[in-house]
Structure 1
Amino acid sequence: MMVLEFTGTVRATRSGPVDTLADVAGMTGWARAHAAELGLDPGFTATEQLRREVVELRQSVRALFARAVAPAPPSSADAHRLPEFAEALALVNSAALAVPLAARLEWPDGGVPTTRQVPSGDADVSARIRAALASAAIALLSGPERERLRVCPSPPCVLYFIKEHARQEWCSVGCGNRARAARHYRQHRTA
């Protein structure tokens, strides 16, 4: 799910927090990896202004995710740097409205017809990227998956995820293993 990957561009590693979009090269690489979903040419290159605008949108989406998982605590990665809810909501909505999308029918030879959302007007690349990402966030937050949105409780992790089954507690098996190992260590250290 692209919007989860987008919010996951802030993540934790053993050496600390990492921001994939911290520089133009990272933004360019991430956008190229999602070129089809964002309607970009494979040779896309970001600018510093586009990177700043996309990071501002990401922080707003993360603020909305933090509200969606409440009363659970938000991701510890950047909770102290998130915009206020009203500001975040306004930014996401305005980004989505900046570029109206239209359905386009794609029907490959011998294939099944599909619908793809494409920008319906001429807009700069930053507005198109932000509109696609904001629209994806709006779809998740206004749909049934919002109820399954969680923040990973593993101590070093900072990711949001969609809970796929009733017993799922962590974003990944690795986070679950780290959390269980930490719990085991705490129980045996104090015993």
Structure 2
Amino acid sequence: MSALEFVSTVRATRAGLTDTLADVEGMTAWGRAHAAALGIDPGFVASEELRREVVELRQAVRALFARAVGPRAASGADAHRLPGFAESLDLVNAAALAVPLAARLEWPAEGVPLARTVPGEGTTESARIRAALATSAIELLAGPQRERLRTCPAPRCVLYFLKDHARQEWCSVACGNRARAARHYHQHRDD
């Protein structure tokens, strides 16, 4: 599960902003789609409390992303209603620390032994999900990819993305086309 996928649960469509995690059904579908990465059962069913906790964490991660892309503009989706930096940092760190991790040795009958890191026993599903998401955000923000983190400047786009090459300006080809079309329209509108 990448932190970018997590913060991209808020996106823009022709109808306006869409929040994949706006309701329990959306959270359930999203959780099931990312079950392996989140360490949860593929038959996962979200509760309203879990959904609220995950959305609160997402807003905190978006606040940290907004700071990371500075001085460039943050995503226009919610920059005006994000929690403060210190509060967001505390929430992300607390979520990551909530699940103790342990080394686990796995040794298949026809293979070599390998070590995996797994959540410790006795943690709640909500804590495991939030820890996985927070850890992903921490790894991105504390790693070399942070320098490549950008906000897409295309009209109506609210996504963050990782800049892959020096000339990349937008999160996707579609956003680049939309931005060029809007620029062309504004340049020729008064002709």
TM-score by structure 1 length? 0.94
Q: Aligned residue for 1:159? A: 159
Q: Aligned residue for 1:69? A: 69
Q: Aligned residue for 1:147? A: 147
Q: Aligned residue for 1:137? A: 137
Separation of aligned partners in 2, 1:37 and 1:124: 16
Aligned residues: 191
Distance 1:171 1:48, change over 3 A: same
Q: Aligned residue for 1:11? A: 11
| RMSD over equivalenced CA pairs, Å | 1.6
Separation of aligned partners in 1, 2:161 and 2:8: 9
Q: Aligned residue for 1:99? A: 99
Following superposition, the deviation at residue 107 of structure 1 comes to: 5.7
State percent identity of aligned pairs. Answer: 74
Residues 50-91 of structure 1, C-alpha deviations (whole Å, 9 max, x = no match):
000000000000000000000001100011110000000000
Separation of aligned partners in 1, 2:32 and 2:104: 22
Separation of aligned partners in 2, 1:32 and 1:54: 14
Instruction: Give the match's secondary structure for 1:174.
Output: helix
Separation of aligned partners in 2, 1:103 and 1:181: 52
Q: Structure 2 regions of 5+ residues with no counterpart?
A: none
Separation of aligned partners in 1, 2:57 and 2:78: 14
Separation of aligned partners in 2, 1:190 and 1:109: 73
Distance 1:103 1:169, change over 3 A: farther
Following superposition, the deviation at residue 155 of structure 1 comes to: 1.4
Partner AA of 1:133 in structure 2: L
After TM superposition, the structure 1 = structure 2 runs for residues 72-83 of structure 1, keeping only pairs within 5 Å, are: 72-83=72-83
Distance 1:92 1:109, change over 3 A: same
Separation of aligned partners in 2, 1:10 and 1:114: 37
Partner AA of 1:44 in structure 2: F
Q: Aligned residue for 2:119? A: 119
Residues 162-188 of structure 1, C-alpha deviations (whole Å, 9 max, x = no match):
111111111111001100100111111
TM-score by structure 2 length? 0.94
Separation of aligned partners in 1, 2:35 and 2:179: 35
Distance 1:97 1:148, change over 3 A: same
Instruction: Give the match's secondary structure for 1:118.
Output: strand
Separation of aligned partners in 2, 1:110 and 1:15: 53
Instruction: Give the match's secondary structure for 2:161.
Output: strand
Instruction: Give the match's secondary structure for 2:17.
Output: strand
Decide which moves more: 18-27 or 98-107. 98-107
Following superposition, the deviation at residue 190 of structure 1 comes to: 2.8
Distance 1:180 1:117, change over 3 A: farther
Distance 1:113 1:71, change over 3 A: farther
Distance 1:24 1:174, change over 3 A: same
